[in-house]
Amino acid sequence: MPELPEVEVVRRGLAERVTGRTIAEAALHGARVARRHIPGPDDLAARLQGRTVRAARRRGKYLWLVLDAPDDEPVALLIHLGMSGQLLVERPEAPDERHLHARLSFDDGGDELRFVDQRTFGGISLSDLSADGVPLTIAHIAPDPFEAAYDEAAVVRRITASTSAVKRVLLDQRYVSGVGNIYADEGLWRARVHGGRPASSLTKPAVARILRHTREVMAAALEQGGTSFDALYVNVNGASGYFERSLAAYGQEGRPCRRCGTPIRRVAFMNRSSYFCPRCQRAPR
DNA sequence: CTTTTCTCCTGTATGC
DNA sequence: TGCATACAGGAGAAAA
C-alpha cells in the first residue's frame, strides 16, 4: 500500500520521466477519479491541456505536478494513490489497463502518463499553490518527517497532548504525514511501544523515539524501492519494491519476533490490522 | 470543539 | 463447483 516511501519512489519516477514536458491532451475515463476536483472532470481535462510540467513534489502521501499556468501563477495537479493507485509512464500504443482512469499525452509524442487504480480510492484534482508551495487543498496535512518544515519538538508536544491511542495519532495526517498502517506498526515495533497506549501516557522522549524509528524505517524502505505485497504497488516503470522481506511486524502474525522470538500477534484496531510483539510491546492494562 | 465510526472500491482468499 | 463472506485500508464525511 502506498505510504510515504512508495509515493516518493513514484515522485522520483515522475520527476525523471515527465518534468519539462508539455501536456497535449488529458483523457479521463469516468468521473470518479476526479471526484475531488469540484468543477468536474471536463474542467480538469480542459485545464491540463497545453500546460508544462515544471516539477514533481510530495508531502506525506500526496504528490503533485507543478504546472505552468499561462499568464498566471503555477497550479498543482494533485494526486493521491489511495491504496491501489498507480502512475505508469508507458508507450501510447500500450493496451489500456483494466482500471485505467486517466491518460495524459505529451506534445513530444513520447510515453504517456496513466493513472490506474483498481479500487479508486485515489484521485486527481487541480489546486492552487499557497505561498509555501503546497497545494491549498492539502493545507491541513502536516509536514512529513523528511521536510525542512517538520518540527519534531512541536509534533511531540501535540502528540503527547492527545489522549487517543498513539497508533491512531501516528495515522492522523494532521499530526505528521506519510505514515500508514505498515510503517506505523514497524516504527512502534522498533520503539518497543504498543500502539494502543494512550499518547498522553507516553513521555516526550518516548514519542520522539517512535517518530525517529518511523522515519528511519521509511528511509530504509525507500532505499529498497518501497514495500510491494502484490502487483498493486509499482513504480512508474511497473516495477515492485523489495522492502516486504525486511518487515519485522507488519504481516508477520505467528512468526517469531526478530528480537525476542515471541510470536508476533495480530489484533483488529480501527477496522484494520495491527501487528506487534506482545513481549517487546506491552499492552496497556 | 474533539474523537470515533462509516463509506468508498474490487480482487483475492477462505469457509460452507 | 458455486456462492457468501472477510479482508486489504487512506481520507474525508458523518455521527457521537
Whether A2 is catalytic: yes
pLDDT single digits (tens) A98-112: 999 999 999 999 999
pTM, to two decimals: 0.96
Over residues A64-89, the mean pLDDT reads 92
Domain boundaries of chain A, sorted by first residue? 4-138, 152-276
pLDDT single digits (tens) A178-207: 999 999 999 999 999 999 999 999 999 999
Topology at the third CATH level for domain A4-138: N-terminal domain of MutM-like DNA repair proteins (3.20.190)
Q: Distance (Å) from CA A273 to C1' C7?
A: 10
Name A52's Cβ contacts closer than 8 Å, sequence gap at least 6.
A20, A21, A22, A23, A67, A68
Q: Distance (Å) from CA A213 to C1' B11?
A: 33
Over residues A59-87, the mean pLDDT reads 93
Whether A216 is catalytic: no
Beta bridge partners of A62: A59, A80
Over residues A3-30, the mean pLDDT reads 95
pLDDT band (50, 70, 90) for residue A238: confident
Confirm whether any atom of chain C, the nucleic acid strand, is less than 7 Å from CB of A171. yes
pLDDT band (50, 70, 90) for residue A229: confident
Rounded (10°) CA dihedral A243, A247, A250, A252 = 120
- What count of Cα atoms within 13 Å lies in the side-chain half-sphere of residue A93? 0
Q: Distance (Å) from CA A169 to C1' C15?
A: 20
Beta strands A123-128 and A112-117 are: unpaired
Q: Which top CATH class is A152-276?
A: mainly alpha
Whether A190 is catalytic: no
pLDDT single digits (tens) A204-227: 999 999 999 999 999 999 999 888
Confirm whether any atom of chain C, the nucleic acid strand, is less than 7 Å from CB of A83. yes
Q: Which of A101, A113, A218, A200 minimizes the C-alpha distance to A159? A: A200
